[in-house]
A and B are shown apart, each in its own frame.
With several copies, the nearest count.
Chain A
Amino acid sequence: MVNVENEVSAVPQDAAPPFALVRGEAFNTLPRDLYIPPDALEVFLETFEGPLDLLLYLIKRQNLEILDISVAEITRQYMVYIELMKGLQLELVAEYLVMAAMLAEIKSRMLLPRPPGVAEGEEGDPRAELIRRLQEYERYKRAATDVEALPQLGRDIFTVSAERPDTQVMRLAPQVSLHEVLLALKDVLTRAEMFSHHHVQREALSVRERMSNILSAVNADNFTEFTTLFTVEEGRQGVVVTLLAVLELIKESLLELIQTDTFSPIYVKVPRQSIQGVSDEFATT
């Protein structure tokens, strides 16, 4: 017998330990139908993925179809393996014992005489549920093999890549919807209770737009002729808006009106100090 002391050293036996213990009795010879090299037995037993896997192995070893299994014979062989696993102190998960109980129950039902008057099929084959489970497991066991055979990245398939060109990560500016801006305004105006005071009105808005336009059109170095600020095509209303804008700008000291003589052309210009302010600001930053 091959030396298996190392594998079974956990078995609390002294000199010449038996191969395994079955129901308390020393188990010194392997079952005749187990032709696995003994030193590989433990590894072998551990490869089973559970009771269904072990049963499928036993069925295949007998060259049987799942449908043709003899429950009595399969149960006998199954129990031998269970005892072997116990003897080797493999971690025997509960599922193996549950299956043993199920096999025993099927076996006993197969032995019971069918009650008279009950036609075959009504009671059903006691093996049906076991066969269904074996078939179901077999199906996915094969599927697992099929999946493993698919081309795998790093084993059969190698991805390729080329060196990236010199580039900086482009950072895109966030998207904003007008709706978001308006909601923000609603919030801030609600907070400031601006709605009730009618500080901001549509009319004021177009005057303010015009104020911005005028401010961008004029500068401190040159005089701009007052009349060029008006666009005849805008009609009476446009002229009024521009005039209001100019007056507001003058009130806020953002613009000055210059007329050298009576009836001579009126010019507008940004006050000199204002521009001075710009250069000051740039100088300090």
Chain B
Amino acid sequence: MNSQQLKNIIEAALLAADHPLSVDQLAVLFMPAHPEQSTEDAAPTRDELRQALSVLQQECESRGIELKEVSSGYRFQVKQALAPWISRLWEERAPRYSRALLETLALIAYRQPITRAEIEDIRGVAVSSNIIKTLQEREWVRVLGHREVPGRPALYGTTREFLDFFSLKGLGDLPTLAEISSLDGIPTQMHLNQSEINPMSDNNSPDSNPGSNIVQLYPAANDTKADTNEASAHG
């Protein structure tokens, strides 16, 4: 198989699949269907697949679509600059989400794993069951486990679908949490800011709490994390 054909198969597969495909998933297309059956053509290596993806990415520069890597793999998407024309294909506008839903989602994304009571604590109001249900039905949020306290409340976290929806490769790509100036003479509050303002910064230390779990849940996030932190440190 030459590189041209390899590239074409990848392009066709990404356009035929209805969800992003990872390099591993692409590799399967080239494996013999039955383990006992050997093929004349050697299956392409991961490096060759990545190489082909990179060529496809470059070729898109002059096209109407682009090849984007998100959390669960690669997908083709319409270039954002063309959205004004393309959105006219649909009469209905994309739904807008309520502030209550977005705030709950943001808390789960930045503070996972988090219980409903902890969300309510920070927002200062009860979180309606409908919001949690909607987030779970959209497959943006799922139960990661239960906290071992009376009542065993569910611990919520975000999913790959959440990352894919917002075009993120990992949680490290989330916008940095705002720094809020602290009040002199309130040491506890300083301490709180330092440790909790940016859950993403925790990921660098292997034994720190919420971040390290997130890394294990989303291996892809791990790759991008260092870059993001570095970038935001410079910026």
A and B from one complex: yes
On A, residues with C-beta under 8 Å from B are: 47, 49-53, 65-67, 93, 95, 99, 120-121, 124-125, 127-129, 131-133, 135-192, 194-195, 200-202, 205-206, 208-209, 211-212, 215-216, 252-254, 270-271, 273-278, 280-281
B87 engages A168 (CB within 8 Å): yes
Cβ contacts under 8 Å, B97 to chain A? 148, 174, 176
Cβ contacts under 8 Å, B93 to chain A? 155, 171-172, 174-175
Contact sample, A vs B, 11 pairs, CB 8 Å cutoff: A49-B125, A137-B122, A143-B177, A147-B106, A164-B16, A165-B83, A173-B94, A179-B187, A188-B107, A205-B110, A208-B112
B186 engages A124 (CB within 8 Å): yes
B78 engages A163 (CB within 8 Å): yes
In the assembled complex, how far is the CB of residue B35 from the closest CB belonging to chain A, in whole angstroms?
8
Closest to A183 in B: B183
Distance between Cα atoms of A131 and B189 in the complex (Å): 9
Give 1 or 0 for each of B88-104: 1 = CB within 8 Å of chain A CB. Answer: 10111111110110110
Closest to A249 in B: B113
Cβ contacts under 8 Å, B33 to chain A? 170, 172
Query: Taking A152-B94, A169-B90 as contacts, is the C-beta distance between A65 and B181 under 8 angstroms?
Result: yes
Query: Taking A95-B124, A188-B103 as contacts, is the C-beta distance between A208 and B181 under 8 angstroms?
Result: no
Distance between Cα atoms of A195 and B182 in the complex (Å): 11
Partner of B113, one of A65, A129, A212: A212
Q: Which stretch in B45-53, B158-166, B208-216, B218-226 binds the other chain?
A: B158-166
Interface residues of B in 184-207 (CB under 8 A from A): 185-194, 197-198
B124 engages A192 (CB within 8 Å): yes
Query: Taking A167-B83, A179-B190, A182-B180 as contacts, is the C-beta distance between A188 and B106 under 8 angstroms?
Result: yes
Distance between Cα atoms of A177 and B35 in the complex (Å): 13
B111 engages A128 (CB within 8 Å): no
B103 engages A185 (CB within 8 Å): yes
- The winner among A137, A143, A148, A195 for most chain B CB atoms within 10 A is A143
Distance between Cα atoms of A226 and B148 in the complex (Å): 21
B77 engages A183 (CB within 8 Å): no
In the assembled complex, B229 has its CB within 8 A of some CB on chain A: no
On B, residues with C-beta under 8 Å from A are: 12, 15-18, 33-34, 65, 68, 75-80, 82-83, 86-88, 90-97, 99-100, 102-103, 105-107, 109-113, 122-126, 138, 143-149, 152, 154-155, 157-158, 164-168, 170-172, 174-178, 180-183, 185-194, 197-198, 235
Query: Taking A93-B126, A162-B76, A254-B148 as contacts, is the C-beta distance between A177 and B191 under 8 angstroms?
Result: yes
In the assembled complex, how far is the CB of residue B142 from the closest CB belonging to chain A, in whole angstroms?
8
Cβ contacts under 8 Å, A163 to chain B? 68, 75-78
Distance between Cα atoms of A275 and B62 in the complex (Å): 57
Cβ contacts under 8 Å, A172 to chain B? 33-34, 91-94, 197-198
- The winner among A129, A152, A188, A254 for most chain B CB atoms within 10 A is A188
8 nearest A-B pairs in the assembled complex, by CB-CB distance:
A277-B152, A50-B125, A177-B190, A185-B106, A160-B15, A163-B77, A167-B87, A184-B102
Closest to A54 in B: B124
Closest to B192 in A: A132
In the assembled complex, how far is the CB of residue B150 from the closest CB belonging to chain A, in whole angstroms?
10
A191 engages B124 (CB within 8 Å): yes
Distance between Cα atoms of A81 and B159 in the complex (Å): 39
A144 engages B103 (CB within 8 Å): yes
Query: Taking A140-B107, A181-B106 as contacts, is the C-beta distance between A159 and B16 under 8 angstroms?
Result: yes
B87 engages A158 (CB within 8 Å): yes
A160 engages B96 (CB within 8 Å): no
In the assembled complex, how far is the CB of residue B71 from the closest CB belonging to chain A, in whole angstroms?
12
Distance between Cα atoms of A164 and B66 in the complex (Å): 11
A182 engages B183 (CB within 8 Å): yes
Query: Taking A125-B183, A215-B155, A216-B144 as contacts, is the C-beta distance between A165 and B75 under 8 angstroms?
Result: no
A sample of 17 more A-B contacts (CB under 8 A), given A124-B186, A165-B16, A188-B122, is A125-B183, A132-B192, A135-B182, A140-B177, A153-B164, A158-B87, A159-B75, A160-B12, A162-B65, A165-B77, A170-B92, A181-B105, A187-B99, A195-B177, A254-B145, A270-B145, A278-B152
Cβ contacts under 8 Å, B166 to chain A? 147, 150-153, 178, 181
Distance between Cα atoms of A166 and B157 in the complex (Å): 38
Cβ contacts under 8 Å, A141 to chain B? 103
Query: Taking A144-B102, A148-B102, A183-B183 as contacts, is the C-beta distance between A157 and B124 under 8 angstroms?
Result: no
Cβ contacts under 8 Å, A182 to chain B? 106, 175, 180, 183
- The winner among B78, B145, B191 for most chain A CB atoms within 10 A is B145
